[in-house]
Amino acid sequence: MEHIRTTKVEQVKLLDRFSTSNKSVTGTLYLTATHLLFIDSSQKETWILHHHIAAVEKLPLTTSGCPLVIQCKNFRIVHFVVPRERDCHDIYNSLLQLSKTAKYEELYAFSYNPKQNESEQVKGWQLIDLAEEYKRMGVPNAYWQLSDANRDYKICETYPRELYVPRTASKPIIVGSSKFRSKGRFPVLSYYHKNKEAAICRCSQPLSGFSARCLEDEHMLQAISKANPSNRYMYVMDTRPKLNAMANRAAGKGYENEDNYSNIRFQFVGIENIHVMRSSLQKLLEVSGTRGLSVNDFLSGLENSGWLRHIKAVVDAAVFLVKAIAMESASVLVHCSDGWDRTSQVCSLGALLLDSYYRTIKGFMVLIEKDWISFGHKFSDRCCQLDGDPKEISPVFTQFLECVWNLTEQFPQAFEYNEVFLLQIHEHVHSCQFGNFLGNCEKEREELKVKEKTYSLWPFLLAEQKKYRNPLYNPDFLPELSLLEPNTVSFNFKFWRNMYHQFDRSMHPRQSVLNLIMNLSEQNKQLEEDIKELEAKIKQRNGQLDVVLVKEHQQSAHPAPVALKTPPCFKKEQPPIPGNETVRTIEGSNTADNRYSELVSEFSKAEPAVVSLEYGVARMTC
């Protein structure tokens, strides 16, 4: 609290980012220990978590006050105008301090209290059990076993304690291989396809330089290859562009020499590094944030940012991976430089294409826990949880979510979850409200005692999974373990408006098909349940009638006909089925939101906006 000098400022204006008529709402700005809160005159609340703030900027003073622009990690951009410069300055300074945290212990997760008792907290953390997940995949088995080599994080600090390796890979091989791999990240199992008996393995780049070899590492790869009885060769996918991999050789790193490893097929797939991705996103945001953008400026900006090219590259790599497994039954070893960015993207996306379990709500949580959290994707550095090196920031995980979103667009019935689920996960990867994504690896989280001091996100998402269900989901869309084959022709990749303009209401469709369909399917389910219940009751009643009938039969030769004129079960009060009118929020919209009126300056009659398209973000964070 020592950073907060002014807690409340009145008469603050919130400008609409995309309206040229400088439309604004006036309200009061509050600064709390965790949030910035703006309540406008119609009592609409805008909550912004301090950890979500990526940048604060104070613009030159204008006649109406001092403009303050806040950019958030969830791509919300708010533009306030504070009447007095002094207040603006105070808030600016406070936000600068509050949005940058030096120590993990100061993050919101350590103070967030959702009113759960201890056992609920523990149970929450146990919701996702990776050992259970490997069992589901079919390991340990005759070829793969759990290794205790990293039990004390001695071999690799950034790997989890429990790792699955080929049975034939002895401890010396593991140790030797890990010494030959960047950051000690030796090849381990990421996903096992039980029908094909093929595995996705992951590691970091070998320290091969121009000619170095390591027999243990060669044995390690051979062990992986032999752990697959159905195929003699395996693929090694280097997810980097060839040029980058070659440049690494000069630094004593590099890639596998096909001559030294028996039966490997080596392949570059050309995903760019974290720095290219960071600047690509920067360019994308510059374009999409421009006011008064023409279609051609937008398209050329989209092209120049390279963003969709990178998204396509990741999906293409995943498609290459799953084809090797599904078509050739070959195991694949995936790596990049350190094996925690591109490798996580490709392994997790590959598994998602191969295994329908990861297309369920629970399965997707497991997938993120496995390939991202446990294998040490550096969430803290990449999402800038602590004030650190800006060169470490990169939207690698965002790209993964965007790849998944593109798949959901191509296969509307294959996923149990909807877009809101992806957006909510993205929200919380940056919110630091839950312990899951804190730190850079499992070891760090253990040191922070995350499981004792913070809460897990997943039970909260599961509790409100109704919101995240895709109403069109068809669990039998494809037979189990059959491949999802996306078409990766360029036109299939679209700009993700709901991610990058989630908070820019005027840009979205004014009527949401998703919400309508969700409600419809909810209602239908309710009806179906009612019918079942009623049918059961009828059965029960009729059963009783049978007994009565039999008894009556015994008593008299001419039983009175059973009257069923008003079956009592019909009297059961039906839950009110909300008519479609409540669901279809029909809206016109507001001309002032749009820019076709630019030249007719007199046109500025504002209409009360009736549009409400925001995702329930504030609800969870406050």
Partner 1 sequence: MEFSELIKTATVENVLLSCAGLPAVRGTLCITSHHLLLSSCPGGDVELWLLIRNVDAVEKRVQNLGWYQPPRTNSSARDTRLTGSSGTITLRCKDLKVLQLEIPGMEECLNIASSIEALSSVDSVMMMYPFFYRPPSLKLEEGWHQFPLEQYFQQISSQTSQWRLSTVNQDFSTCPTYPPAVIVPAAVGDEALRKAARFRQGGRFPVLSYFHPKNRTVMLRSSQPLTGPNRRRCREDETLLGTILDEGERGFIIDTRSAQAAKQARMTGGGTEPKSSYPQWRRLHRPLERGRPLQESFAKLVEACSDPSLSMDRWLGRLESSRWLSHVKAALSTACLAAQCMDREEATVLVHGAEGTDTTLLVTALAQVILDPSCRTLVGFQGLLEREWIQAGHPFHLRCAHSAYSHARLKQEAPLFLLFLDCVWQLSRQFPFSLEFGERLLLSLFDNAYASAYGTFLCNNEKERSLCKVKESTHSLWAWLNRPEEQQKLLNPLYSHNALVIWPSVEPQSIQLWQGLFLRWIRPSQHLDEAWAEIQRLVEENNTPAKESTGNRLSQSLSDHTAGMENRR
Which is it for the CA torsion 290, 380, 616, 619, positive or negative? negative
β 234-238/264-268 pair status: parallel
By CB atoms closer than 10 A (0-12, 13-18, 19+), residue 115 is exposed
Tell me how far CA of residue 11 lies from CA of 29, 41, 82, 87, in angstroms.
Answer: 8, 10, 7, 11
- Closest CB 281 distance from partner 1, rounded Å: 15
By CB under 8 A, is residue 577 in contact with partner 1?
Answer: yes
Q: Is the bond leading into 140 cis (omega within 30 degrees of zero)?
A: yes
Instruction: Find the binder of partner 1 among 463, 599, 601, 608 (CB under 8 A).
Output: 599
By CB under 8 A, is residue 547 in contact with partner 1?
Answer: no
Instruction: Find the binder of partner 1 among 151, 275, 497, 619 (CB under 8 A).
Output: 497
Instruction: Find the binder of partner 1 among 531, 568, 612, 616 (CB under 8 A).
Output: 531
Instruction: Please say whether the beta carbons of 3 and 31 come within 8 A.
Output: no
Instruction: Please say whether the beta carbons of 309 and 127 come within 8 A.
Output: no
CA distance 380 to 167: 34
SS3 content of the chain, % helix, strand, coil (to 5): 45, 15, 40
Q: Does 228 show up as a binding residue in the annotation?
A: no
Instruction: Find the binder of partner 1 among 246, 388, 492, 499 (CB under 8 A).
Output: 492
Determine the interface stretch with partner 1 among 64-72, 235-243, 289-297, 387-395 (rule: CB under 8 A).
Answer: 289-297
User: Across the beta sheet with 332-335, what order do the strands follow?
Assistant: 188-193, 198-203, 332-335, 234-238, 264-268
Q: Is 570 left (phi over 0), alpha (psi -120 to 50) or beta?
A: alpha
Strands (DSSP E) contained in 424-467 are none
Instruction: Find the binder of partner 1 among 62, 571, 596, 601 (CB under 8 A).
Output: 596
Structure tokens at 442: 């499992």
* CB closer to partner 1 out of 4 and 478: 478
DSSP assignments along 31-70, one per residue: E-SSEEEEEETT--EEEEEGGGEEEEEEPPPBTTBEEEEE
* CB closer to partner 1 out of 100 and 312: 312
Query: Hey, which residues between 162 and 221 contact partner 1 (CB under 8 A)?
Result: none
* CB closer to partner 1 out of 69 and 569: 569
By CB under 8 A, is residue 472 in contact with partner 1?
Answer: yes
By CB under 8 A, is residue 560 in contact with partner 1?
Answer: no
Q: Does 341 show up as a binding residue in the annotation?
A: yes
Instruction: Please say whether the beta carbons of 371 and 347 come within 8 A.
Output: yes
Chain mean position to CA 30: 30
Instruction: Find the binder of partner 1 among 296, 556, 582, 601 (CB under 8 A).
Output: 296
Instruction: Find the binder of partner 1 among 303, 446, 447, 480 (CB under 8 A).
Output: 303
* CB closer to partner 1 out of 257 and 597: 597
Instruction: Find the binder of partner 1 among 564, 568, 612, 616 (CB under 8 A).
Output: 564
Chain mean position to CA 523: 28
By CB under 8 A, is residue 102 in contact with partner 1?
Answer: no
By CB under 8 A, is residue 17 in contact with partner 1?
Answer: no
Q: Which of 217, 120, 127, 129 is nearest to 175 (CA)?
A: 217
* CB closer to partner 1 out of 465 and 580: 580
By CB under 8 A, is residue 23 in contact with partner 1?
Answer: no
User: Across the beta sheet with 66-72, what order do the strands follow?
Assistant: 45-49, 35-40, 24-31, 8-15, 77-82, 66-72, 53-58
By CB under 8 A, is residue 476 in contact with partner 1?
Answer: no
* CB closer to partner 1 out of 170 and 410: 410
Q: Which of 28, 9, 15 is nearest to 67 (CA)?
A: 15
Total residues interacting with partner 1, rule: CB under 8 A:
86
SS3 192: strand
Q: What is the DSSP letter of 188?
A: E
By CB under 8 A, is residue 544 in contact with partner 1?
Answer: no
Task: Please count the other Cβ atoms lying within 10 Å of the Cβ belonging to residue 77.
Answer: 16
Q: Does 203 show up as a binding residue in the annotation?
A: no
Query: Hey, which residues between 221 and 260 contact partner 1 (CB under 8 A)?
Result: none
Q: Does 260 show up as a binding residue in the annotation?
A: no
* CB closer to partner 1 out of 174 and 609: 609
Query: Hey, which residues between 502 and 521 contact partner 1 (CB under 8 A)?
Result: 506-511, 513, 516-517, 520-521
SS3 34: coil
By CB under 8 A, is residue 69 in contact with partner 1?
Answer: no
Query: Hey, which residues between 105 and 164 contact partner 1 (CB under 8 A)?
Result: none
Instruction: Find the binder of partner 1 among 25, 127, 246, 302 (CB under 8 A).
Output: 302
336 annotated active-site: yes
- Closest CB 596 distance from partner 1, rounded Å: 4
By CB under 8 A, is residue 523 in contact with partner 1?
Answer: yes
- Closest CB 594 distance from partner 1, rounded Å: 6
Structure tokens at 230: 């159905």
Q: Which of 336, 384, 403, 432 is catalytic?
A: 336
Which is it for the CA torsion 205, 211, 217, 221, positive or negative? positive
Instruction: Find the binder of partner 1 among 117, 119, 487, 556 (CB under 8 A).
Output: 487
By CB under 8 A, is residue 300 in contact with partner 1?
Answer: yes
Residues annotated within a binding site for substrate: 273-274, 336-342
Active site amino acids: 336
